Amino acid sequence: MKYLNFTELGVITIVMTVIGFLGMFQIGFLNGGYRIFCVEKDISKKQEVNNIIYTYFLMLFIILIIIVLFIKLYNSSLKFSYIVLALSILFGLITLITNWIRNMLSATMNFKELNFLEFISTAISLLGLLTIPFIGIAGAFFCLFSQPFVFLILSYIKDKSIKPTRLYFNLKKAKWILAFGFIPFLTGIFLQVNDQIEKWSILYYLDTAALGKFYLPALYYSLFMLIPFSVGKLFFPPAMHKFVNNDLKSLKKILINYTVFLFVFIIIAFIITYLFLEPIVAHIFPKHLIGVRFVWGVFPGLVALLLLEPIGLLFNASVKLKPMLWAYLTSSFIMFILIISGNQILGFSLSIMAYIKSIVAIYITLFLYIIFFTRKNYYLRVSEIV
């Protein structure tokens, strides 16, 4: 943010959007596999799930290679480098694999190994920061791409059990995995759709530089969610075990502790943001002071999404996920309508976009809380699919 101009930051945003878009192709295997690893004790069944997921990734890779070759032949209208597109696709796929490895390690509560892999791979990628003053956006790409690549290589060296043992794909068992993960995947799809609507609306109504000006709230979002999402990985596996075993008393205690943690985190985050955000931005990258007000625009939405986490955990544990699907599906329509309406009534701006993000997040949270508390006993009953 200090050394790159707004247009270059906009290019990075596009690259990250492409990588995020590839996440849509996992179709629920990561979600379903994670849930199975949380509760399954049979090592052979876990390895079977692992083999199926890796084989699916290989098939996905072959399809993407064909698409890339096709784009290479017919890319006359491509607005950015073919090499950048190819790298985005390659590392999007690597990111999918590393996310699956993270799921396996966190589901089995192997946090010591996961922390080691995260620390080393992130430390190496941060070395790229030293090159940015000299090679600009190429150094930024090194930071982005080296982390998942190093994580993948180190994980294979350190833990052979996470590697596939053979190519294997059974359609019936793949459907079983997706029974746990397809709807959570669809909800993730609509989160990605919302992100796509946001980014392309900014490009359509404004320009690439505007994406760069909106970079600060995107960075803040990542930092804000880092700790609660990581801590959520600690709460999810034991909560799953308590739910499957119908130990609702212990489950309630876990959820209360989780909720208390989230409230404390929100208060601390608000105080730190209020006191230090603007001075830090002014000192380190003053040209991004314009983004501070956008951060405050998205802040209520971030709070709402955090408060949704305990309820989301219960929906995922019960495998009764249609309310989540409807919440996120309708949120995409609402975001689209709000953007069109905001442009017609007030004129589109980055401030309007920030407020719309918060409104949509609050809508999702209220929708799911209302659904849950109107049929609480139903959602606390163990599903037959378990």
Residue 236 has pLDDT above 90, yes or no: no
Residue 108 has φ and ψ, to the nearest 5°, of -90, 5
When pLDDT is averaged across residues 322-339 and rounded to a whole number, the result is 89
When pLDDT is averaged across residues 134-141 and rounded to a whole number, the result is 82
Residue 356 has pLDDT above 90, yes or no: yes
Residue 281 has pLDDT above 60, yes or no: yes
Q: Which of 30-39, 219-228, 360-369 has the highest mean pLDDT?
A: 360-369
Residue 358 has pLDDT above 50, yes or no: yes
Q: What is the pLDDT of residue 80?
A: 55
pLDDT in tens, 63-97: 877 877 777 777 655 555 667 777 777 888 888 89
Residue 382 has pLDDT above 60, yes or no: no
Query: 10 Å Cβ neighbour count for 347?
Result: 9
Q: What is the pLDDT of residue 275?
A: 94
- Which of 49, 85, 79, 78 has its CA nearest to residue 64? 85
Pair of tokens at residue 323:
């309310």
- DSSP letter at 176? H
Pair of tokens at residue 308:
């949704």
Residue 137 has pLDDT above 90, yes or no: no
pLDDT in tens, 27-70: 888 888 888 887 777 888 888 999 999 999 888 878 877 877 77
pLDDT in tens, 158-170: 888 888 888 888 8
DSSP 78-96: --S-HHHHHHHHHHHHHHH
Residue 386 has pLDDT above 50, yes or no: no
DSSP 259-282: HHHHHHHHHHHHHHHHHHHHHHHH
- Dist. CA 351–CA 95, nearest whole Å: 31
Q: What is the pLDDT of residue 310?
A: 87
Report residue 384's pLDDT band, with 50, 70 and 90 as the boundaries.
very low
Q: What is the pLDDT of residue 76?
A: 55
- Dist. CA 185–CA 23, nearest whole Å: 9
When pLDDT is averaged across residues 270-281 and rounded to a whole number, the result is 92
Pair of tokens at residue 206:
């404004």
